[in-house]
Amino acid sequence: MSLLPEELFQMALNVRDPWFIEKIDFTPDKKRLDIWIDFIPGSRFDCPDCHNPDCAPYDTSEKIWRHLNFFQFKTYLHCRVPRVECKKCGIKQMDVPWAREQSGFTLWMDALIVLLARKMTISAIAEHIDEQDTRIWRVIKYYVEEARSRQDLSSVISIGIDETACTRGHQYISLVVNLDNSKVIHISKGKDASVVSSFKKDFSEHKGKPENVHRFCCDMSPAFIKGIEENFPAASITFDKFHVMKIMNEAVDEVRREEQSVNQLLRKTRYIWLKNPENLTEKQLNELGSLKDMNLKTGRAYNLKMSLAGFWNHYNPEVAASYLKRWYFWATHSRLTPVINAAKSMKRHWGGILNYIDSRISNGVLEGINSIVQSLKASARGYRNTSNFMTMIYLRCGDLHFTLPT
Ligand SMILES: [Zn+2]
Local mean pLDDT, 10-residue blocks, the chain (406 residues): 79 89 93 96 94 94 95 95 95 93 94 93 92 94 95 97 80 94 95 95 97 96 95 97 96 96 90 91 91 91 97 97 98 98 97 97 91 79 77 94 79
Give 88 Cα–ligand 1 centroid separation in angstroms: 5
Give 160 Cα–ligand 1 centroid separation in angstroms: 47
Which residues make Cβ contacts (< 8 Å) with residue 353, sequence separation at least 6?
Answer: 239, 244, 324, 346
Give 13 Cα–ligand 1 centroid separation in angstroms: 28
Give 105 Cα–ligand 1 centroid separation in angstroms: 27
Which residues make Cβ contacts (< 8 Å) with residue 49, sequence separation at least 6?
Answer: 86, 89, 92
Contact (CB, 8 A) for 185 and 203: yes
Give 404 Cα–ligand 1 centroid separation in angstroms: 24
Which residues are bridge partners to 38 per DSSP? 20
Give 53 Cα–ligand 1 centroid separation in angstroms: 9
Give 47 Cα–ligand 1 centroid separation in angstroms: 5
Rounded to whole angstroms, the Cα distance separating 311 from 365 reads: 20
Give 176 Cα–ligand 1 centroid separation in angstroms: 43
Give 92 Cα–ligand 1 centroid separation in angstroms: 8
Rounded to whole angstroms, the Cα distance separating 95 from 85 reads: 14
Which of 80, 45, 77 lies closest to 61 in space, CA to CA? 80
pLDDT score recorded for residue 167:
65
Give 3 Cα–ligand 1 centroid separation in angstroms: 38
Start-to-end CA span in the chain (Å)? 31
Give 50 Cα–ligand 1 centroid separation in angstroms: 4
pLDDT score recorded for residue 380:
58
Which of 246, 220, 257 lies closest to 336 in space, CA to CA? 257
C-alpha pair distances (Å), 37 with each of 19, 25, 63: 7, 12, 10
Which of 221, 236, 271, 208 lies closest to 361 in space, CA to CA? 236
Rounded to whole angstroms, the Cα distance separating 80 from 98 reads: 13
Give 406 Cα–ligand 1 centroid separation in angstroms: 19
Give 113 Cα–ligand 1 centroid separation in angstroms: 33
Give 59 Cα–ligand 1 centroid separation in angstroms: 16
Give 57 Cα–ligand 1 centroid separation in angstroms: 13
pLDDT score recorded for residue 406:
61
Give 306 Cα–ligand 1 centroid separation in angstroms: 72
Which residues are bridge partners to 186 per DSSP? 176
Which residues are bridge partners to 165 per DSSP? 172
Give 54 Cα–ligand 1 centroid separation in angstroms: 9
Give 104 Cα–ligand 1 centroid separation in angstroms: 25
Give 55 Cα–ligand 1 centroid separation in angstroms: 8
Residue 303 dihedral angles phi and psi, to the nearest 5°:
-60, -35
Give 56 Cα–ligand 1 centroid separation in angstroms: 11
Give 99 Cα–ligand 1 centroid separation in angstroms: 21
Give 97 Cα–ligand 1 centroid separation in angstroms: 18
Q: In three state form, how does the secondary structure of the chain look?
A: CCCCHHHHHHHHCCCCCCEEEEEEEEEHHHCEEEEEEEECCCCCECCCCCCCCCEEEEEEEEEEEEEEEECCEEEEEEEEEEEEEECCCEEEECCCCCECCCCCEEHHHHHHHHHHHCCCCHHHHHHHHCCCHHHHHHHHHHHHHHHHHCCCCCCCCEEEEEEEECCCCCCEEEEEEECCCCEEEEEEECCCCHHHHHHHHHHHHCCCCHHHCCEEEECCCHHHHHHHHHHCCCCEEEECHHHHHHHHHHHHHHHHHHHHCCCHHHCCCHHHHHCCHHHCCHHHHHHHHHHHCCCCHHHHHHHHHHHHHHHCCCCCHHHHHHHHHHHHHHHHCCCCHHHHHHHHHHHCCHHHHHHHHHHCCCCHHHHHHHHHHHHHHHCCCCCCCHHHHHHHHHHHHECCCCCCCC
Give 193 Cα–ligand 1 centroid separation in angstroms: 47
Give 39 Cα–ligand 1 centroid separation in angstroms: 20
Contact (CB, 8 A) for 346 and 339: no
Quote the pTM value. 0.89
Give 45 Cα–ligand 1 centroid separation in angstroms: 10
Give 58 Cα–ligand 1 centroid separation in angstroms: 13
pLDDT score recorded for residue 115:
94
